[in-house]
A and B are shown apart, each in its own frame.
Chain A
């Protein structure tokens, strides 16, 4: 059974989540990857505002392909998350609650999710056409010059995700593998 979840995320909502939970996420989320994160951190260092309200927000690590006429967005699957590890704790410190991507996070980020009550969702890498179906609206809100790396505000409906890291320090990549590894 999938859990329906709506943004913005609160501590109460996140505390109910545990690794392996299948999620259908709806509401507003923001896209950002390598270059956009670097720019976010530069803004925070200069004590300037981010181009979106980070409190309770969810960031999707994605650089979508261009939308065809009539589409909200092109293919939109997750990019590999470890590249955003150097920025993730600082983003959670200012209020980001959820991250969507693929691949394992560093121990620092897993500890960060415990400290700031955050959650990391996995989306299936390679299922980009399927995931694009859950994006209802998309609009570039910052750094348009970055092309696929621009920051977009997305409205999503029932985006299929799975909880990889909960706010209790657990990791589905570690636990999931244990059951199937043949020594």
Chain B
């Protein structure tokens, strides 16, 4: 059994939380640079160049890429041969998020009582923690700050099996079309297909953790990823929704078996900042 002190987890979560909101991934920079060449609309090109300049400024000034530093979503793939010692894992994660958000001057956006009392938790906790037990003795941690604007444009639907893959596709394209400029395009689209009502939304969120170009291992699903992205980029929404060819940077699909009576689909939209930082322990 491999033992990991939970205070190690706190330190790591703190570092990843701070970096995710301030330092853009190299992959994202490369993708936006490529998009400047692809984009034909002059206003679209100008927006993409603004985003690149923004990324530079945020790194130099240690100012967040976006003022909405999100709901902090933490994914942990935990090897079953790992034992956490020294306290509660969940508390350790929240402590890391809280310390990171305060120290790095990130925005605190979490209201503790969602219904009646708009009191801010003042350190952006609690996080949303997804744990998944896997084989082995490694732990993979991903911190994904999720902004409210793109989250608001995300949708879920329980389709009928008779709606088929065409029904799923139409729902995905329609979701992106209706979202227009709201979720800060160029976006990244995560699609979940199958599972249950709750699980399909998790799949869509898990999909946006993938790296650009990392296609689904199922060849048919990978083909849908490429085809649906092409269709989305024909909608004309463009960077910032002002018109153009680059509406989404990539589209990822995660699938899971479904019940004979159901055909769940979820679309999780991620904004152009595409913030995420991972580490394997």
Interface residues of A (CB under 8 A from B): 20, 35, 62-68, 71, 74-77, 79-80, 82, 102-104, 122, 124-130, 132-133, 146-148, 160, 162, 172-173, 175-182
Contacts and interface: CB of A to CB of B under 8 A. Distances in A.
Given A20-B43, A35-B118, A128-B66, A65 B57 contact: no
B195 interface: no
B243 A74 contact: no
A126 B236 contact: no
Interface residues of B, number: 49
B182 A74 contact: no
A73 B192 CA distance: 38
A89 to B, nearest CB: 20
Nearest to B64: A75
Given A127-B50, A179-B41, A65 B64 contact: yes
B199 to A, nearest CB: 28
Contacts of B66: 75, 77, 125-126, 128
B161 interface: no
B12 interface: no
Contacts of A125: 66, 149, 181, 184, 240, 271-272
28 contacts: A63-B67, A63-B107, A65-B69, A65-B107, A68-B105, A75-B64, A77-B66, A80-B152, A80-B183, A102-B149, A102-B181, A103-B181, A103-B241, A122-B242, A126-B65, A126-B66, A126-B271, A127-B54, A128-B66, A129-B54, A130-B57, A176-B236, A177-B235, A177-B237, A179-B41, A180-B243, A180-B244, A181-B235
Contacts of B244: 176, 180
Nearest to A180: B236
Contacts of B109: 63, 148
Given A66-B107, A68-B63, A177 B149 contact: no
Contacts of A75: 58, 63-67, 69, 107
A10 B47 CA distance: 28
A136 B134 CA distance: 51
Nearest to B69: A65
Interface in B245-281: 245, 271-273
A126 B54 CA distance: 8
B242 A176 contact: yes
Given A133-B57, A148-B109, A122 B182 contact: no
A69 to B, nearest CB: 9
B63 A124 contact: no
Contact of A74 (B67, B118, B181, B234): B67
Given A133-B57, A179-B243, A65 B182 contact: no
Chain B binding surface, main DSSP class? loop
B64 A129 contact: yes
B194 interface: no
Contacts of B135: none
The 10 A-B residue pairs with the shortest CB-CB distance, nearest first, are A176-B243, A181-B236, A125-B184, A180-B236, A103-B182, A129-B58, A75-B67, A182-B234, A65-B107, A130-B54
B106 interface: yes
Nearest to A76: B67
A129 B63 contact: yes
A177 B243 CA distance: 4
Contacts of B236: 176-182
B68 interface: yes
B51 A126 contact: yes
Contacts of B37: none
B39 to A, nearest CB: 10
Nearest to B185: A125
A126 B65 CA distance: 7
Contacts of A162: 43, 242
Given A64-B107, A146-B118, A175-B243, 8 more contacts: A74-B107, A79-B149, A102-B182, A103-B181, A128-B66, A147-B120, A148-B109, A176-B244
B62 interface: yes
B105 A126 contact: no
A94 B218 CA distance: 58
Interface in B33-71: 40-41, 43, 47, 50-51, 53-54, 57-58, 61-69
Interface string B97-117: 000000001111100000000
